[in-house]
Each structure stands twice: as C-alpha cells, then as structure tokens.
C-alpha cells in the first residue's frame, strides 16, 4: 500500500506518555479529498488526523502515528478522556449519506491492519467518532460498513438476540461496553444504532437490548463490573 505524505502542522506530542490504544474512524463531510486535505492541514482550523483516504483509495498521511493529531475533540470511550492522545484518527472522504467505495474500504482495511499490528490494538478498540462523542458527532455514519470490518477481524459485531427493553439496563450494558452514559440515554442509543442497527427507529426495543447485552458480555471494558 502506497502512502502519500502530506504533513499537517496541527499536531503535538501525546500527553502523559500515552500511546495509541484506539482507532477512531471519521467521515470528512466535505466536497472532496483536496478540500479535506486543505482544511486538515490549515493552521487556522486547528484540526487534523493521522490519515485521510480518498474515495479512490489513495491514502494520505498527515501526522506521524507517534504524535497526537487533533481529530477527536471532547468526549470519552471506556471511561477515559483525551481520546486524541489515545488514538490514531482516520478520515474517509465521504459526505455521510452515500456508501463508502470498495476501493476506499480496501485501502482502509490494509491501513488498519498495519496500525493494529504496530500498536497492538484489538478489533474491540476500533470505534467511530460518534461512539466517543455521541452528542456532537455522527461519523462515520449509518452508511459505513462496520459488519464488513468485523468479518475481516478489524472490528467487532454483536450476536443477534432479544431481551426485555429496559433503559437502565441498556445504559449499564452500554457503559460496560465503552459508551459514556453521562451523554444521556437518547444520545447513547442513537450512537449504538448508527453503528449496529442503522435502520432502526423508535423506542428502545428487544433487539437493541439483546445486542448491547451481548457486546457488554463479550467485550467489557471493565470485567470487574459484573454482568450487565
């Protein structure tokens, strides 16, 4: 895989000796790749990411993986903040309302395999921007193919199931999986559905409960919390 270097000044050292333990996926929501590159490399915007992948599958590196890019912003995952210092950020040229191209997904998978091997990141630690900032962000969006990544061992996917809907139990299970319940039930449910049930609507239902409880049981961020 060829990677084109396109350095951004919007970066710095990772804080407190932290190293990447997450991969955070984004969509650019911009007109095209050149526009996204310009914004992510403009000092006045104070945003960046480690990588940007075009719709044609071209990979641009803007920030060295050892450095802290400015892609995540405020939020948390698995009870920990400063996600910028804990992650590698990958931007995908997409508006959020269209499918991601096969070439783009192929390039993403190749890129992720290398990142995960270099930093010993497991598939459970690959998240969307919307997972860690559900009240602010909706990327990589409902059209992103999380199930494909899971089939290739690059993300996780819950088993189908059903359980009695219960808001309190849902939030408890979601927290055990990694979501921050302080964002509120509605935001957490929406983030969960964006990723795992993109066509679901309406109140919490049995399928939501079954899937979140499976995720909490198989991929708990804190196994000492007990069964959700």
| Residues designated catalytic | 91
CA R_g for the chain: 17
Q: Which of 177, 176, 204 is nearest to 190 (CA)?
A: 204
Residue 201: other Cβ atoms inside 10 A: 7
Give me the residue label for tokens 């990694």.
178
Closest CA to 67 of 82, 38, 87, 52: 87
- DSSP letter at 165 equals -
Q: How far is CA 177 from CA 7, 43, 84, 203, in A?
A: 35, 36, 20, 21
Task: Report how far Cα 186 is from the mean position of its chain's Cα atoms.
Answer: 19
Q: What six digits make up the tokens of 10? A: 């919007």
């Amino acid at each position: 895989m060829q990677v084109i270097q396109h350095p951004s000044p919007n970066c710095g050292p990772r804080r407190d000796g932290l190293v990447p333990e997450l991969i955070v996926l984004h969509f650019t929501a911009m007109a095209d790749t050149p526009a996204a590159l310009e914004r992510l490399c403009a000092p006045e915007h104070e945003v960046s990411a480690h990588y940007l992948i075009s719709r044609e599958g071209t990979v641009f590196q803007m920030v060295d993986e050892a450095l802290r890019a400015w892609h995540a912003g405020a939020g948390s995952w698995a009870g920990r903040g400063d996600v910028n210092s804990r992650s590698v950020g990958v931007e995908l040229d997409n508006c959020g309302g269209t499918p991601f191209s096969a070439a783009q997904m192929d390039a993403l998978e190749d890129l992720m395999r290398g990142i995960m091997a270099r930093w010993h990141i497991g598939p459970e630690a690959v998240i969307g921007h919307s997972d860690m900032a559900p009240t602010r962000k909706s990327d990589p969006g409902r059209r992103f193919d999380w199930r494909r990544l899971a089939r290739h061992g690059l993300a996780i996917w819950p088993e189908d199931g059903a359980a009695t809907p219960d808001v309190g139990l849902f939030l408890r299970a979601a927290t055990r999986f990694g979501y921050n319940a302080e964002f509120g039930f509605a935001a957490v449910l929406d983030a969960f559905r964006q990723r795992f049930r993109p066509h679901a609507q309406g109140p919490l239902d049995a399928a939501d409960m079954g899937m979140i409880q499976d995720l909490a049981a198989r991929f708990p961020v804190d196994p000492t919390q007990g069964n959700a």
